[in-house]
Structure 1
Amino acid sequence: MEAANGKIVIDLMRQVSAKFEKNLRQHFNDCNLTVPQMNVISLLSRYGEMRISDISGKMGLTNGTTSGIIDRLERIELVKRVRLEEDRRVVKVVLIKGVDSLNTDYDSRLCDCLDKMFGKVTREELQTIVKGLNILNDILDDKR
């Protein structure tokens, strides 16, 4: 592949990522949480307590970045860190009671936001997008 083609892919990925984040931020501007913070809450709601390294892996972020997100969520009392009794070295992140309702609202609003973003897309276009993203994901996982 020519370097120019790689630059085109990188530029497009940046543009798509920025526009996607902008749409999400606009849709959720009233909840005073960032998209990464909402993603952490969603993950914890879906999977239950998790280690920071597990959250990082699912979000594609470094442990340091994820830890910063967790710090801010702890300050506003949406999550807390808990040490395991059987192994005090292991720290899990858990949702504070009552946050599940926030996540239910988040998931519902996310579906609404995605419906607005992709509402005018044909089935064929959506299949093309998904196929392209799957190919890119495989390339990045070095499966091709």
Structure 2
Amino acid sequence: MNEQQRVMQIFQAYREVNQAFFQVMAKVAQKHGLTPLQLIVLRILKEFPDIKLMELSDKLNLGNSTTSGIVDRMVKAGIITRERTESDRRAMTLKLSDKGTTLWEESNDMRLMLLRPLLGLSEEDQQQFHRIQTEILTILKTIKGDVLHD
């Protein structure tokens, strides 16, 4: 196998795994009347309650206006709430509503149930996978840094 074929094999394998994970996430989101992106917002808000819009945008790697549109729809649906901060009355923080918390818990339980078969991998295979993934991420981050600095 030549260099190009080897690189493409690695790339294709990651692409297929990523698509499969996305399909599971999309199935879970759809089952709960959400989009996959809204499901990610729920996870972030669960992990970072009282997050500001700009911080959420950063975590989603989206612009503020795009994130604002997503948040507006989720507020309208009663899934998340906006609250003014005590320190700066102009600033708003986001958090899960009770409905949002329930949606997150139900969807996360379903996601974990669907992904549970991954635990069939031996601990050794999981460790190897993690080691290889870490190496690949290190390489890709180096490439990304090189490309940005050219």
**TM bracket (short chain):** 0.7 to 0.9
Q: Which residue in the other structure is 1:100 paired with?
A: 101
Cα distance change on mapping 1:78 and 1:132 into 2, 3 Å: same
Report deviation, 1:142: 3.5
CA distance in 1, matches of 2:84, 2:139: 38
**Higher Cα radius of gyration:** 2
Indicate the SS of the match to 2:93.
Answer: strand
Q: Which residue in the other structure is 1:128 paired with?
A: 128
Indicate the SS of the match to 1:32.
Answer: coil
CA RMSD of aligned residues (A): 2.9
Indicate the SS of the match to 2:46.
Answer: helix
- The alignment covers a number of residue pairs equal to 142
Given that 1:24 and 1:113 are in contact with CA atoms closer than 8 Å, whether structure 2 keeps it comes out as: no
Q: Spell out, residue by residue over 1:56-87, the C-alpha distance to the aligned partner (whole angstroms, 9 max, x if none).
A: 33334443443332222122111122332432
Given that 2:54 and 2:64 are in contact with CA atoms closer than 8 Å, whether structure 1 keeps it comes out as: yes
Report deviation, 1:33: 0.9
Given that 2:29 and 2:39 are in contact with CA atoms closer than 8 Å, whether structure 1 keeps it comes out as: no
CA distance in 1, matches of 2:4, 2:63: 27
CA distance in 2, matches of 1:133, 1:47: 26
Q: Which has the higher helix share?
A: 2
CA distance in 2, matches of 1:12, 1:66: 30
Given that 2:43 and 2:104 are in contact with CA atoms closer than 8 Å, whether structure 1 keeps it comes out as: yes
**Percent of aligned pairs with the same amino acid:** 23
Instruction: Structure 1: state its 5+ residue gaps.
Output: none
Q: Which residue in the other structure is 1:40 paired with?
A: 41
State the one-letter code of the partner of 1:114. Answer: L
CA distance in 1, matches of 2:137, 2:63: 19
Q: Which residue in the other structure is 2:20 paired with?
A: 19
State the one-letter code of the partner of 1:16. Answer: V
State the one-letter code of the partner of 2:112. Answer: C
CA distance in 2, matches of 1:98, 1:25: 20
